[in-house]
Amino acid sequence: DAGVIQSPRHEVTEMGQEVTLRCKPISGHNSLFWYRQTMMRGLELLIYFNNNVPIDDSGMPEDRFSAKMPNASFSTLKIQPSEPRDSAVYFCASLGAAGNQPQHFGDGTRLSIL
């Protein structure tokens, strides 16, 4: 079975550039999460979608970050303009509708902003 698929796996870009990260959740899952992982702060929830609707975006660092989920099989996380402090690994996770299930994670996008 295909798991959560993220692209690109690695992204290196210069500060000020726009960065777009992509996620395809597991088919049939109706919840999608974006996380950021750094050594200093660990795994942080950025935003949570349920049935394609953003439910909680309180973890989004600032207005430079935005996320969309145009349909049940695709989501994007965009950073514009990017800054060196945005360098981290960004994970997407999805979850089915039944209660008390684990979130399933993709293998992440390692983002480096120079």
- Binding residues vs another protein (CB under 8 A): 4, 31, 33, 42-43, 45, 48, 50, 55-56, 91, 93, 95, 100, 102-108
Nearer to another protein, 8 or 81 (CB): 8
Shortest distance in whole angstroms from residue 40 CB to another protein = 10
CA proximity to 112, closest of 81, 78, 88? 88
21 in helix, strand or coil? strand
Nearer to another protein, 40 or 70 (CB): 40
Shortest distance in whole angstroms from residue 81 CB to another protein = 27
CB neighbours of 2 closer than 8 A, spacing ≥ 6?
Answer: 26, 27
Neighbours of 104 (CB within 10 A): 16
Shortest distance in whole angstroms from residue 58 CB to another protein = 10
